[in-house]
Each structure stands twice: as structure tokens, then as C-alpha cells.
Amino acid sequence: MLHQNTLEHLRVKLGTDVFDLVGDTPLVSLRRIAEHVQPVQVYAKAEWFNPSGSVKDRPAREIILAAERAGKLTPHKILLDATSGNMGIAYAMLCAARGYQAKLVIPENASPERIKILRAYHADLVFSNALEGADGAIRRAREIVAANPGQYFYADQYSNPANWQAHYNTTGVEVWEQTHGEITHFVAGLGTSGTFIGTGRRLRELNPNVQLIAAQPDAPFHGLEGLKHYQTAIVPAIYDASLADAQVTVSTEEAHAMVKRLAREEGLFVGVSAGAAAVAAIQVAEKLREGVVVTVFPDAGFKYLSDRFWEEK
């Protein structure tokens, strides 16, 4: 039986700025929604404990630090990237802390909460076609860079190896230590794929028998913010198709229903991609007789309060 989290996993970090507060998020047990799969245990990384409120603080931090070390990001350069929201917020927060300007391309249908947060950090926003989703934002960002390459550091989260390396160096290590090496299955949604690739590679090194399961939407048109339908979308350059032992799909309706369940049965107020992750993790756990399944909850639910599914009965 896996030991329960103790206060050492919730330790306070004394940092000098927000860069020092990224990572070391707690691992929470999904007791009630996973009660029917016992003795299999299901856990989730509570990534809203990061300073900007999402898992994207990890790759944004590593991308900025790597760019500084390489001399690619200086006070005279503008950090530019495409984002569906959370990565942009992480960039904007960290750039504000460093004194950089962030220019972010985001679909015009991004939630009002996201837009207000980005503007609070004084990010320069460019809106792309809502019907083109994250891929449209990527194409628009590339056009901006091509028009004036000397003005920008193009962070390119979908192709930048610092994205997955952030999770290799932090998330994977944390999951291993928090489960005392007892993890048997790791489940994560595919957006940029950085969380899945980086964490998966580290866990596979620590135990070659750990099963890695990737989750994605079940259709090209979906409401799973931050996730991509890889069969029809631009596949990120950092994605390694050979890494996953299995793939699972989740519908928008399943994720929305799970978000409500997590709030009402576990006391966890999470975002839509976290709901999708929970659905996927339970799907995996239901096929096991024993094991420790770990997934990642990318953010809390506060940026989704304007979504209509909360009003549905």
C-alpha cells in the first residue's frame, strides 16, 4: 500500500521570486471516484499549486532559462509564442518577473478569465481565428516572426526541447519520489506533449516496466482546452510516438461531467483538461487488478467559470 502524502510533500519553499516557486506540487489521492477500482490506487499531481496556477509554469520556466543561457532572450528581445492560455499566462508571469515583454498569439475564443489574467501581466495579445484553434495560433505566430525575426525570441513551445526537459527534470522525479517508486502506470493528456514525453522518459529510465498511456480528445472538434486531436492537428515536433504503451480517448462530455464530480465528490475544483485526465486514469485503472496509476491535473477550475457546462443540469 502506498504511503499517504505527508506534510513534507507540501513543504513551503522560500524563494526569491516566482521562478523559485515552480514545481514540488502535491500528489492527491482520488479516493471516491476511484473507489470501485480498489485495490488499484489512483493519484493526480495538483499542478495548480504552481505560482501562475498551472503545469505550464514548468516548461515556461525552463524555456526562458535555457534561452537566457544561450543568449537568445535578452532585454532587447520580445518573447513570442502561440498559446491556448495557460502557457501564455506562465510566460507573462515569468517575463514580468524578469522585465521582458511577452507577445502572445491566442485564439479569439479564449475564456474571458484567461484574457484578463494575461492583460494583468501586461502581455501584448494577438488574436487568431477561433475556428483554427491552437494550430491557427501557431501559424499566426510563425508569420509574425518571419516578418521581423530580429525583434523576437520565438519560444515555440511545440518544438522546443526545453518543454519536455522541464518535466524530465522535475515532474518525473517528483512522481517517482512521491509514490516511493511504486508507480505502475502514468497517464497524461496530449497538448504540446511535453508533460507526457518528459515525465514518461524519466519514469521509463527509473523503471522500464512503468506503463505510459497518452490521452487525447475523441474528435477533431472538441472542448478540451489545451489538448490536441493528433490525427487531425499539427503534431508537435517534440512528440515521440514510440513512447506510449497505449492511447486512450476522452469525449468533451465525459470530461465536463468528471470536472463536476471531482468538485462535488473529491473537493477538487479543477479545469477541463484535468477532468479529461481523470477520465483517462480511471479507464486505465478499471482494466487492472492492482497497481498505482498517476495522472496530472494541469490547472484549477477558476479560468473555466464562464464555460456553459457549469450551467447545465
pLDDT grade for 5, boundaries at 50, 70 and 90: very low
Write out the E strands in 2-69: 27-29, 41-46
3-state DSSP call for residue 195? helix
- Can you tell me which residue has the cell 501557431? 138
Q: What pLDDT score does 208 carry? A: 98
Q: What is the pLDDT of residues 157-212, one digit of tens each?
A: 999 999 999 999 999 999 999 999 999 999 999 999 999 999 999 999 999 999 99
Cα→Cα distances 164→150, 199, 304, 312, Å: 26, 8, 26, 36
User: In whole angstroms, what is the distance from residue 238 CA to residue 42 CA?
Assistant: 27
- Can you tell me which residue has the cell 522546443? 160
Phi/psi at 301 (nearest 5 deg)?
-90, 0
3-state DSSP call for residue 54? strand
Q: What is the pLDDT of residues 77-97, one digit of tens each?
A: 999 999 988 999 999 999 999
Q: Could you give the maximum distance between any two Cα atoms of the chain, in Å?
A: 57
Residue 233 has pLDDT above 60, yes or no: yes
Question: Is the entire prediction scored with pTM above 0.85?
Answer: yes
Please report, rounded to a whole number, the percentage of residues in the chain having pLDDT higher than 90.
Answer: 83
Is the CA virtual torsion 239, 186, 248, 301 positive or negative?
negative
Question: Quick check: 193 and 238 in contact, CB under 8 A?
Answer: yes
Cα→Cα distances 137→7, 120, 310, Å: 41, 21, 27
The catalytic residue positions are 56, 273
Closest alpha carbon to 239 in 133, 137, 157:
157
CA 201 to chain centre: 16
Q: What pLDDT score does 127 carry? A: 96
Domains of the chain from N-terminus onward = 7-55+165-311 (3.40.50.1100), 57-154 (3.40.50.1100)
Q: What is the pLDDT of residues 52-62, one digit of tens each?
A: 999 999 999 99
User: In whole angstroms, what is the distance from residue 72 CA to residue 195 CA?
Assistant: 24
* Residues in contact with 83: Cβ distance below 8 Å, sequence separation at least 6, in sequence order: 91, 104, 105, 106, 137, 157
